C-alpha cells in the first residue's frame, strides 16, 4: 500500500515549505519508498485529526497515522530494516537525535528572516491563523520581528561555524554519503529557500554547497520543488 504524507503547502499547492516535512520526504526517498504527498494547509486540522494532533508531517501507512518527524524517521527505520539505513546503527540513531534537535533550533534561528515572507505566501485561509499564532509565539508583530533582518545575518552565519567546519572537512554530516542527520539539518535551509527570496547563505559558503549537494540527491527531488534561487 502506498504511503501518504500530509505536506505543508503555501497558496501554490506545489510550494511545499515545512522544514519537518522535508526531512521526512528525504528519509522516504533514502529508503526508496514511494509516497503520495498531500498538500495541507495550517487550518486543515480536521484532515489530520486521525493522527491525534495538529502538526505535519503526518504519515499514513495503511491504518496507522504517524506524526512528529523524529518518530516517523524511527518508524521508517524499524519498519523497513532491509532498506538503506537512515541512522547507520544504534550509536548513529542516538547521535542523530542530537542533529534533529539542533535542526529544530535552526528553524527558530531562521524564522526572524523569513516570517513575513511566509505570511505573504500562505493560502488566504491560513493568513489570519499564521499571523495570530506566530505573533503570540514571538510576542510582537511579524513586521517588528523581521525588521532589520540584514543586520542579524552576520551573527546567524557565525552561528553556523561548527556546521561549516564539518562540511569543509567532509561532504556530508554522515561522511561520504548523507544520512538522516543531513536531512534533518537540511530541512530548515530548504524551508527558507522554498518560501523566501532572502539570501541566508553566501554562494561559496560550504554550508550552501552541502545544501546544494542534497538538492541534487534523489533525482533532484528537493531542487525540483518550487523555491527561490538563493
Ligand X SMILES: N[C@@H](CCC(=O)N[C@@H](CS)C(=O)NCC(=O)O)C(=O)O
> C-alpha cell of 61?
501507512
Minimum distance from residue 6 beta carbon to ligand X (Å): 9
Q: Is 206 in the site for ligand X (CB under 6 A)?
A: no
In the bound state with ligand X, the residue whose beta carbon lies nearer, of 195 and 206, is 195
Residues in region 117-136 near ligand X by CB under 6 A? 133
Rounded CA separation 71/79 (Å) = 12
Q: Is 57 in the site for ligand X (CB under 6 A)?
A: yes
> Can you spell out the DSSP letters for 137-159?
HHTS-HHHHHTTHHHHHHHHHHT
Helix (H, G, I), strand (E, B) or coil at 5: strand
Is the four-CA dihedral 41, 44, 50, 52 of positive or negative sign? positive
Which residues face 35 on adjacent strands?
3
| Ramachandran bin of 148, using left for φ above 0, alpha for ψ from -120 to 50, beta for the remaining angles | left
Q: Is 68 in the site for ligand X (CB under 6 A)?
A: yes
Interface region with ligand X, contact rule CB under 6 A, candidates 25-33, 65-73, 176-184, 196-204: 65-73
In the bound state with ligand X, the residue whose beta carbon lies nearer, of 18 and 37, is 18
Minimum distance from residue 64 beta carbon to ligand X (Å): 16
Out of 9, 18, 206, 227, the residue judged to bind ligand X by CB under 6 A = 18
Site residues, ligand X (CB under 6 A): 8, 18-20, 42, 54-57, 68-70, 133
Amino acid at each position: 500500500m502506498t504511503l501518504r504524507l500530509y505536506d505543508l503547502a503555501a497558496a501554490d499547492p506545489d510550494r511545499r515549505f515545512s522544514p519537518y516535512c522535508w526531512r521526512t520526504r528525504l528519509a522516504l526517498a533514502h529508503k526508496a519508498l514511494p509516497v503520495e504527498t498531500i498538500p495541507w494547509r495550517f487550518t486543515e486540522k480536521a484532515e489530520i485529526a486521525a493522527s491525534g494532533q495538529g502538526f505535519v508531517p503526518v504519515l499514513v501507512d495503511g491504518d496507522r497515522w504517524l506524526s512528529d518527524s523524529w518518530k516517523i524517521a524511527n518508524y521508517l527505520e524499524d519498519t523497513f530494516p532491509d532498506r538503506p539505513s537512515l541512522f547507520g546503527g544504534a550509536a548513529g540513531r542516538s547521535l542523530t537525535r542530537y542533529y534533529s534537535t539542533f535542526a529544530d533550533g535552526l528553524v527558530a534561528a531562521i524564522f526572524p528572516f523569513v516570517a513575513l515572507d511566509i505570511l505573504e505566501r500562505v493560502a488566504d485561509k491560513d493568513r489570519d491563523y499564521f499571523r495570530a499564532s506566530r505573533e503570540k509565539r514571538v510576542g510582537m508583530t511579524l513586521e517588528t520581528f523581521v525588521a532589520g533582518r540584514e543586520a542579524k545575518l552576520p551573527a546567524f552565519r557565525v552561528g553556523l561555524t561548527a556546521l561549516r567546519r564539518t562540511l569543509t572537512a567532509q561532504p556530508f554530516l554522515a561522511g561520504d554519503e548523507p544520512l538522516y542527520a543531513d536531512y534533518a539539518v537540511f530541512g530548515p535551509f530548504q524551508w527558507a529557500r522554498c518560501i523566501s527570496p532572502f539570501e541566508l547563505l553566501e554562494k561559496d559558503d560550504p554550508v550552501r554547497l552541502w545544501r546544494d549537494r542534497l538538492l541534487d540527491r534523489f533525482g533532484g527531488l528537493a531542487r525540483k520543488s518550487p523555491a527561490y534561487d538563493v
